[in-house]
């Protein structure tokens, strides 16, 4: 039988995620930093439901340039997801 532990072991590696106020980093042991993106999320609000449109650099380009139904924000404030 192919157990869940074996399945997860195929994808597991030592990694760390740094959710910083300015940037988000993903580090994988043996490979170094594999992702470095601005900590920005852009989302659309319709009927009270939020739908993510962009994250990282794409969302950063939207800061201050969105119509009323779209928000681009930096969700991290003082080390906490706000």
Average pLDDT over residues 3-25: 77
pTM, whole model, 2 decimals?
0.75
Q: How many other β-carbons are positioned within 10 Å of the β-carbon of residue 54?
A: 17
The CATH code belonging to domain 4-81 is: 3.30.420.40
- What are 15-63's pLDDT values in tens digits? 899 999 999 999 988 889 999 999 999 999 989 899 999 999 999 999 9
What is the average pLDDT value for the chain, to the nearest integer? 87
CA distance 82 to 78: 9
pLDDT top residue among 57 and 68: 57
Could you tell me the pLDDT band of residue 80, with boundaries at 50, 70 and 90? confident
CA distance 13 to 10: 9
Would you list the DSSP string of 31-77? TEEEEEEES-EEEEEETTEEEEEEETHHHHTTTT---TTEEEE--EE
Helix (H, G, I), strand (E, B) or coil at 7: helix
């Amino acid at each position: 039988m192919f157990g869940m532990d074996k399945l997860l072991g195929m994808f597991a590696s030592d990694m760390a995620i740094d959710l910083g106020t300015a940037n988000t980093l993903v580090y994988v042991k043996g490979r170094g930093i594999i992702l470095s993106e601005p900590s920005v999320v852009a989302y659309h609000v319709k009927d009270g439901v939020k739908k993510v449109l962009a994250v990282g650099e794409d969302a950063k380009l939207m800061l201050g340039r969105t119509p009323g139904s779209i928000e681009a924000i930096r969700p991290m404030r003082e080390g906490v997801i706000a």
